[in-house]
Amino acid sequence: MLSFCVAGRYIPPHLRNKDASKNGECDASGWNTAKDAYTSFGNNRGKSAFFNDRGNANRGRFEHGGFGNGGGGGNSRWVEESRDDGDWSKPTPRNERLEHELFSGSNTGINFEKYDDIPVEATGQNCPQHIESFQDVDMGEIIMGNIALSRYTRPTPVQKYAIPIIKSKRDLMACAQTGSGKTAAFLLPVLSQIYTDGPGEALNAAKENGKYGRRKQYPISLVLAPTRELALQIYDEARKFSYRSRVRPCVVYGGADIGQQIRDLERGCHLLVATPGRLVDMMERGKIGLDYCNYLVLDEADRMLDMGFEPQIRRIVEQDTMPPKGIRQTMMFSATFPKEIQILARDFLEDYIFLAVGRVGSTSENITQKVVWVEESDKRSFLLDLLSATGKDSLTLVFVETKKGADALEDFLYREGYACTSIHGDRSQRDREEALNQFRSGKCPILVATAVAARGLDISNVKHVINFDLPSDIEEYVHRIGRTGRVGNLGLATSFFNDKNGNITKDLLDILVEAKQDVPSWLESLAYEHQHKSSNRGRSKRFSGGFGARDYRQTAAGGNAGGFGGRGGGRNQAGHGGNRGFGGGEDLIFGYK
Ligand code: ADP
Ligand code: MG
């Protein structure tokens, strides 16, 4: 029988004795009471009077429970875990070695000024005011210290809006261009909130579990990402922003030794970054419980809700112990958000704000996009020409469609005397990490990659992205070229086009026009022909007005979204084939373990 109460509000140790006397109502039933509270509020009422302000939801929810006696005092096993005790809003002592490790590679004075006048649309009820500087919102001492150490002088546009929205506990679907600082846009406010609120009952649950020899962890926040590399990158950012705090971030992803990841989890896990497949595995092994996960973030959300991942996301979010929407806070981020995915996303969001940050007018200045007609048989020699024209210390990322194609091209370039490496789904996780490191460090300045590298990876100094093979959908194109021209730097994207790429013609043309790029006349005529051939594909112009997407609720079709009731049907109606967005099935592999 469980002899503890998890339904306690977090109370710092110095106040605990006082509270112990109030523990009368806190007995074995505490566990069930807390769980039932979730279920009944979540299902029946969504927001009872008790919960009508999300700001008080967490607190209110636990008011009726005292602080359990699993607080750890006297249990010597937990002495080592003293990290968890104390006031979570106060910084822990400095550690110069760690500080150096975390922040030495940071950003040096990138100028965001030209991002200032880009259009932003925030739609949804009662949208909180945006901020102009990090000082405009109270994120606490730890976060402010880490922002300074990261040398972020001012928030990027998506941060100006997303930070106050998340701080006011609203759900959010945010669409902002690649390289615009979306990671910090969710990590800063979520971590700040965790520091303010403390670990709450998650701490007791983990400790109590530990008493029985099990070491299940109850993260307070979960960030899901589609690829292992992206998960690692988010984890690294999370380590920065949790420096000098009591929050311990962890990362789990497939392809790496699970035993090691389990051992790392067992040292404590408050913020978990995960790819879905490995997370499901960890949940099934009883290593992770999402019972107290108050913050759920889907990075690259449109990819995460696309068909390859959706069942796993539902398994994690809806079919386990995670608090229901309306109780937990849910945030989704991406550079692209097709309407049909927005409709699907409603299942996970409650009364959300849709944030569309205009694609910077200066995308045109930052990324020069070129499309050249190259027949299949000429691609290699064309590539060699481009590479020989590239400066020595700049990095070039070459995208191909298949894993086999990646291996073959890497081999070819190697034989031609280029220092290159590759990253794709048939390579082991260790090889992939190694390849990424060699590329980042400039040892191998050419990286041949499949779609796995398209999403989210932040590698500074990528000067040139080459689409050796163009992808079949335009979102993938946007993400790929977004690997260059990041945060105010200049970049070039060259795409090889031939008759195989007919299906992307119209969308590619739209993108080029919108970003004020030179459009080859053959592309224009092709798009014209194409449009006439397949005159009514029923596809909306996604990127109108310089946004990666618009809130579908604002459009006429959004108004009668009832028509999209069945989820599979919704997407088919929107005119997509079964494999859109998968880069040739690649991510089916990457998403899973
Ligand atoms: P996105 O997810 O939008 O593609 P990232 O979150 O990967 O972009 O951020 C891109 C880069 O910008 C990262 O190196 C990050 O450290 C940096 N960055 C983020 N916010 C700021 C800021 N406010 N000031 C300076 N650099 C920032
Ligand atoms: Mg990102």
The confidence band for 84, taking pLDDT boundaries of 50, 70 and 90, is low
CA 399–ligand 2 middle distance (angstroms): 19
Do 278 and 303 lie in one domain? The reply is yes
Report pLDDT for 547. 66
pLDDT greater than 50 at residue 289: yes
Residues 320, 324, 329, 335, CA torsion sign? positive
CB neighbour list of residue 81: distance below 8 Å, 6 or more residues apart: 72, 207, 268
> Looking at the domain assignment, is residue 183 inside a domain?
yes
Cα 1 to Cα 217, 292, 503: the distances in Å are 20, 21, 62
Q: Which atom of ligand 1 is nearest to the CA of 110?
A: 25
The confidence band for 112, taking pLDDT boundaries of 50, 70 and 90, is low
Model pTM score? 0.67
Q: Quick one: which H or E segment has residue 531? A: helix 521-533
For residue 253, the number of C-alpha atoms closer than 13 Å in the C-beta half-sphere is 25
Report pLDDT for 467. 97
> Looking at the domain assignment, is residue 135 inside a domain?
yes
- Among 357, 386, 418, identify where a domain stops: 357
The owner of tokens 């505490």 is: 30
**Tokens standing for residue 586:** 């690649």
> Looking at the domain assignment, is residue 19 inside a domain?
no
Report pLDDT for 195. 96
Give dist(CA 334, CA 477) in Å, integer: 14
pLDDT digits (tens, 9 = 90+) for 508-557: 998 888 888 889 989 988 887 776 665 444 444 454 455 667 888 887 54
In terms of DSSP bridges, do strands 329-334 and 172-175 run parallel, antiparallel, or are they unpaired?
Answer: parallel
Do 208 and 346 lie in one domain? The reply is yes
The predicted model gives 482-507 an average pLDDT of 85
Do 393 and 338 lie in one domain? The reply is no
Average of per-residue pLDDT values in the chain = 77
Q: Which atom of ligand 1 is nearest to the CA of 155?
A: 23
CATH, residue 349: 3.40.50.300
> Looking at the domain assignment, is residue 12 inside a domain?
no
The predicted model gives 113-136 an average pLDDT of 85
Probe residue for ligand 1, chosen from 156, 175, 229, 478 as the CB with the greatest number of ligand atoms within 8 Å? 156
Do 346 and 379 lie in one domain? The reply is no
SS3 for 2-43, per residue? CCCCCCCCCCCHHHHHHHHCCHHHCCCCHHHHHHHHHHHHHH
Task: Of 59-73, 118-132, 146-160, 317-331, give the lowest mean pLDDT range.
Answer: 59-73
Q: Is 182 in the pocket of ligand 1 (CB under 6 A)?
A: yes
- What 8-state DSSP symbol labels residue 174? E
Report pLDDT for 36. 36
Q: What is the signed CA dihedral for 543, 549, 551, 555, rounded to 10 degrees?
A: 30
The confidence band for 159, taking pLDDT boundaries of 50, 70 and 90, is very high
Do 183 and 307 lie in one domain? The reply is yes
Is the Cβ–Cβ distance between 565 and 343 less than 8 Å? no
Do 120 and 147 lie in one domain? The reply is yes
Ligand 1 atom 26: residue of nearest CA: 152
In terms of DSSP bridges, do strands 462-467 and 491-497 run parallel, antiparallel, or are they unpaired?
Answer: parallel
The predicted model gives 199-224 an average pLDDT of 83
Relative orientation angle of helices 505-514 and 521-533, to the nearest 10 degrees: 130
Give dist(CA 522, CA 498) in Å, integer: 11
Do 231 and 271 lie in one domain? The reply is yes
**Tokens standing for residue 406:** 């990646």
Do 186 and 255 lie in one domain? The reply is yes
Q: Is 107 in the pocket of ligand 1 (CB under 6 A)?
A: yes
The owner of tokens 């031939």 is: 498
pLDDT greater than 70 at residue 560: no
Report pLDDT for 534. 55
CA 182–ligand 2 middle distance (angstroms): 5
The confidence band for 459, taking pLDDT boundaries of 50, 70 and 90, is confident
CA 152–ligand 1 middle distance (angstroms): 9
**Tokens standing for residue 220:** 């307070």
Total domain count, the chain:
2
Q: Quick one: which H or E segment has residue 193? A: helix 182-197
- Among 533, 549, 565, identify where a domain stops: 533
The confidence band for 113, taking pLDDT boundaries of 50, 70 and 90, is low
Give dist(CA 402, CA 88) in Å, integer: 47
CA 84–ligand 2 middle distance (angstroms): 29
Strands (E) across 365-428 are located at 367-373, 395-399, 420-423
Task: Of 107-111, 240-244, 376-380, 412-416, give the lowest mean pLDDT range.
Answer: 107-111
Q: Is 183 in the pocket of ligand 1 (CB under 6 A)?
A: yes
Residue 292: give the domain boundaries. Answer: 96-357
Instruction: Write the DSSP assignment of 219-246 as a string of letters.
Output: -SEEEE-SSHHHHHHHHHHHHHHTTTSS
The predicted model gives 365-392 an average pLDDT of 88
The C-alpha angle 502, 507, 511, rounded to 5 degrees, equals: 130
> Looking at the domain assignment, is residue 165 inside a domain?
yes
pLDDT digits (tens, 9 = 90+) for 425-439: 888 888 888 999 999
Nearest to 233 by CA among 460, 476, 490: 460
- What 8-state DSSP symbol labels residue 44? I
Q: Is 156 in the pocket of ligand 1 (CB under 6 A)?
A: yes
Ligand 1 atom 14: residue of nearest CA: 458
> What is the SS3 assignment for 142?
helix
> Looking at the domain assignment, is residue 279 inside a domain?
yes
Report pLDDT for 43. 37
Do 234 and 338 lie in one domain? The reply is yes
Percent over 70 (pLDDT), the chain = 72
Residues 262, 313, 504, 359, CA torsion sign? negative
pLDDT digits (tens, 9 = 90+) for 20-63: 333 333 333 333 333 333 333 333 333 333 333 333 333 333 33
> Looking at the domain assignment, is residue 71 inside a domain?
no
pLDDT greater than 80 at residue 6: no
The predicted model gives 167-193 an average pLDDT of 93
Is the Cβ–Cβ distance between 308 and 279 less than 8 Å? no
The C-alpha angle 470, 487, 123, rounded to 5 degrees, equals: 85
Q: Is 458 in the pocket of ligand 1 (CB under 6 A)?
A: yes
Ligand 1 atom 9: residue of nearest CA: 181
Do 372 and 349 lie in one domain? The reply is no
Ligand 1 atom 12: residue of nearest CA: 181
Give dist(CA 226, CA 277) in Å, integer: 10
Do 319 and 439 lie in one domain? The reply is no
pLDDT greater than 80 at residue 278: yes
The predicted model gives 302-319 an average pLDDT of 91
Ligand 1 atom 2: residue of nearest CA: 182
Nearest to 222 by CA among 342, 314, 328: 328
Q: Is 309 in the pocket of ligand 1 (CB under 6 A)?
A: no
Do 308 and 216 lie in one domain? The reply is yes
pLDDT digits (tens, 9 = 90+) for 383-415: 999 998 877 778 999 999 999 999 999 999 999
Relative orientation angle of helices 30-40 and 54-62, to the nearest 10 degrees: 150
pLDDT greater than 60 at residue 336: yes
pLDDT greater than 80 at residue 501: yes
Give dist(CA 265, CA 249) in Å, integer: 9
Is the Cβ–Cβ distance between 352 and 173 less than 8 Å? yes
- Among 357, 387, 407, identify where a domain stops: 357
Percent over 90 (pLDDT), the chain = 49
Report pLDDT for 337. 87
> Looking at the domain assignment, is residue 548 inside a domain?
no
The predicted model gives 368-391 an average pLDDT of 91
CA 446 to chain centre: 26
Instruction: Write the DSSP assignment of 248-285 as a string of letters.
Output: -EEEE-TTS-HHHHHHHHHT--SEEEE-HHHHHHHHHT
Q: Which atom of ligand 1 is nearest to the CA of 456?
A: 4
**Tokens standing for residue 378:** 């000429």
